[in-house]
Chains A and B, each alone.
Chain A
Amino acid sequence: MPGSGWLARWPVIRQLKGEDPRGSAARSARTDALRPRTERADTVARSVCPYCAVGCGQLVYVQDGRVTQIEGDPDSPISRGRLCPKGSASKQLVTHPGRQTRVLHRRPYGTEWEPLDLDTAMEMIADRVVRTRRETWEQTCEGKVVRRTMGIAGLGGATLDNEENYLMKKLYTALGAIQIENQARI
Chain B
Amino acid sequence: MAECHPVGFQWVMEAKARGARIFHVDPRFTRTSALADRYLPIRAGSDIVLLGALINHVLQNGLDFREYVLAYTNAATIVSADFRDTEDLDGLFSGWDPETATYDPRSWAYAGTDEQPQGEHVEGGRRHAEAAGPESYGAGGAGAHPSPRTDPTLDHPRCVYQILKRHFARYTPELVERLCGIPSAAFAELAEAVTANSGRERTTAWVYSVGWTQHTVGAQYIRTASILQLLLGNMGRPGGGIMALRGHASIQGSTDIPTLFNILPGYLAMPHAHRHDDLNHYLELEGGETGFWGNRRSYLVSLLKAWWGEAATEDNDYCFGHLPRMTGDHGHYTTVMGQIDGTVKGYFVIGENPAVGSSGGRAQRLGLANLDWLVVRDLTLVETATFWRDGPELETGEMRTEDIGTEVFFLPAASHVEKEGTFTNTQRLLQWREKALDPPGDCRSDLWFYYHLGKLVRRRLSDDEIDRPVRELTWDYPEHGAHREPSAEAVLREINGVGPDGRALSSSTQLRADGSTACGCWIYCGVYADEVNQAARRRPRGEQDFVAPEWGWAWPANRRILYNRASADPEGRPWSERKAYVWWDAERGEWTGHDVPDCEIGKPPDYLPPEGARAQDALAGTDPFIMQSDGKGWLYAPSGMADGPMPAHYEPHESPVANILYGQRANPARRTFDRPESPYNRPGPLFPHVLTTYRLTEHHTAGGMSRPLAYLAELQPELFCEMDPRLAARLGLGNGDWATIVTSRTVLEARVLVTGRMRPLRVEGRVIHQIGLPYHWGWGGGGLVTGDVVNDLMPLVLDPNVYIQEGKAMTCDVRPGRRPRGRAMLDLLETYRHG
Q: Which residues of A pack against B, CB within 8 Å?
A: 43, 45-57, 60, 62, 65-67, 70, 74-80, 82-90, 92-94, 96, 98-109, 111-113, 116, 118, 121-130, 132, 134-137, 139, 141-142, 144-186
Contact = CB atoms under 8 A, between A and B. Distances in A.
A6 B631 CA distance: 79
Given A141-B327, A156-B259, A179-B330, A111 B389 contact: yes
A115 to B, nearest CB: 10
Contact of A169 (B259, B375, B701, B712): B259
A106 B388 contact: yes
B460 A89 contact: no
Contacts of B252: 53
Contacts of B29: none
Contact of A159 (B352, B422, B447): B352
B260 A181 contact: yes
B425 A78 contact: yes
Contacts of B443: 101
A90 B521 CA distance: 31
Contact of B424 (A45, A112, A162): A162
B375 A125 contact: yes
A184 B407 contact: no
A44 B156 CA distance: 64
Given A162-B492, A167-B451, A185 B709 contact: no
Nearest to B781: A98
13 contacts: A60-B434, A103-B411, A139-B466, A144-B327, A146-B327, A147-B469, A150-B344, A154-B348, A155-B350, A161-B423, A161-B445, A186-B357, A186-B804
B261 to A, nearest CB: 6
B60 interface: no
B415 interface: yes
A178 B705 CA distance: 28
Contacts of A104: 381, 385, 408-410
A89 B454 CA distance: 35
Contacts of A132: 345-346, 372-373
A53 B247 contact: yes
Chain B's interface size range is 35 or more
Contacts of A66: 437
Nearest to A85: B698
Interface in B463-480: 466, 469-470, 473, 475
A144 B7 contact: no
A101 B375 CA distance: 15
Contact of A127 (B321, B331, B352, B460): B460
B251 A60 contact: no
B302 to A, nearest CB: 14
A99 B348 CA distance: 20
Contacts of B258: 157, 165, 169, 182, 184
B495 A162 contact: yes
Given A47-B434, A48-B416, A162 B421 contact: yes
B200 interface: no
Nearest to B371: A153
Interface stretch (B69-77, B118-126, B398-406, B648-656): B398-406
A183 B431 contact: no
A159 to B, nearest CB: 4
A48 B459 CA distance: 36
A183 B254 contact: yes
B41 interface: no
B454 to A, nearest CB: 5
A166 B708 CA distance: 29
Contact of A100 (B381, B551, B697): B381
B713 to A, nearest CB: 10
A52 B248 contact: yes
B452 interface: yes
B477 to A, nearest CB: 9
A75 B541 contact: yes
Interface in B246-289: 246-261, 264-265, 270, 273-274
Contacts of B805: 186
Interface in B48-77: none
Nearest 4 CB-CB pairs, A to B? A161-B421, A156-B350, A55-B425, A101-B441
Nearest to A152: B346
B607 interface: no
A56 B6 CA distance: 10
A159 B248 contact: yes
B802 interface: yes
Contacts of B324: 146-149, 173, 176-178
B265 to A, nearest CB: 7
A164 B326 CA distance: 23
Residue among A52, A107, A147 having the largest count of chain B Cβ atoms under 10 Å = A52
A174 B322 contact: yes
B621 interface: no
A153 B802 CA distance: 19
Nearest to A101: B441
A126 B5 contact: no
Interface string B729-746: 000000000000000000
A48 B548 contact: no
Contacts of B357: 183, 186
Given A77-B548, A126-B453, A142-B327, A54 B7 contact: yes
Nearest to A92: B709
A145 B330 contact: no
B102 to A, nearest CB: 17
A29 to B, nearest CB: 30
Contacts of B451: 167
B413 to A, nearest CB: 9
Given A47-B416, A85-B711, 14 more contacts: A50-B249, A75-B541, A78-B551, A82-B10, A123-B456, A144-B327, A146-B273, A157-B250, A157-B350, A159-B250, A161-B421, A166-B521, A171-B473, A173-B264
B21 to A, nearest CB: 23
A64 to B, nearest CB: 10
Nearest to B489: A163
A165 B350 CA distance: 10
Contacts of A183: 248, 251, 254, 352, 357, 701
A130 B346 CA distance: 11
A61 to B, nearest CB: 8
Contact of A85 (B346, B433, B705, B712): B712
Contacts of B256: 162
Residue among B254, B344, B375, B379 having the largest count of chain A Cβ atoms under 10 Å = B254
Given A48-B423, A82-B10, A155-B349, A180 B260 contact: yes
Residue among B253, B375, B405 having the largest count of chain A Cβ atoms under 10 Å = B253
Contact of B712 (A46, A86, A134): A86
Contacts of A79: 7
B323 interface: yes
Contact of A118 (B348, B442, B447, B700): B442
Contacts of A176: 324, 466, 469
A173 B264 CA distance: 9
